[in-house]
Amino acid sequence: MENLPNVPAMLDLLRISPRRLFLSGGAELYHHIGILTGMSEGVEVLNVACGLGVSLEYFVREFGVQGFGVDITPDLVEQAAKRGLSEGIADKIQFQSGPSSALPYRDEIFDVTIGEIGLANHCEPSEAIAELVRVTKPTGFIVLLQLIWKGPVHEPRRSVLGDYLGATPLMAVEWRKLLRESGIENLHVEDWSNERMMLRSDTSEPFPDLIKIFSFREKLEILHRTWKRWGWKGVRTGIMKGREIHRLLT
């Protein structure tokens, strides 16, 4: 099983924030996914790297699907399950802890599988995609919501940026190649990078600090949760990594 990081990445901070966020974009994007994949009552949907289950809860409420979420971080899974109980939808939504490279499900059982941004942050993208293919019905849909490089990014910038983000951006052509090698046919690609995104900052910096979207009170809560999970060393290291990113890009 993949090891959890001992210092927080940007995605980690967003996932533990007190504000419930659609990490890959706003509700408009997820509604679009539901329509494209034919979500409706009884359709079984798997959300991988689900975090607190925000998008999966949306699918359950909006389309009436049966939702299943998996994430490598046990405490996020526990929080997501507790919310399902408190919201009265526990019969429609389930969560399990596990890595993207070894999903805890049988072969070919889901109608729709969705890989969120954190899909491949603890394993190789090819391994995660192979698992999505394995658990999806032959007539089902596989959706990747992933970051892409708009142009060639060479080492060491690619590794440093990926480490800071806590995600694995690839160029669009690289994602398509991995999907085809996994046996996926009839690819449909959409670029939402120019749409209004939930996490987009108003700043014009070349690599905006996404933490700026939070209020002062929310930042204090994120700091507290970061300290509880990673300690002060993790907090300091995270800040230093952020400064290194801006130095590399500016």
pLDDT in tens, 46-81: 999 999 999 999 999 999 999 999 999 999 999 999
Segment 193-248, tens digit of pLDDT: 765 444 443 434 444 455 567 888 888 888 888 888 888 887 787 677 667 666 66
What is this structure's pTM?
A: 0.86
Looking at the structure, do residues 103 and 183 belong to the same domain, yes or no? yes
Answer whether residue 29 shows pLDDT above 50: yes
Looking at the structure, do residues 218 and 171 belong to the same domain, yes or no? no
- The pLDDT of residue 166: 82
Q: What's the structural domain count of the chain?
A: 2
Look at 155 and 126; give whichever has higher pLDDT: 126
Q: Does residue 27 sit within a domain?
A: yes
Looking at the structure, do residues 137 and 78 belong to the same domain, yes or no? yes
Answer whether residue 2 shows pLDDT above 60: no
Place of tokens 């991988």: 48
Segment 106-152, tens digit of pLDDT: 999 999 999 999 999 889 999 999 999 999 999 999 999 998 888 88
**C-alpha separations of 126 from 16, 57, 108 in Å:** 27, 27, 18
Amino acid at 193: S
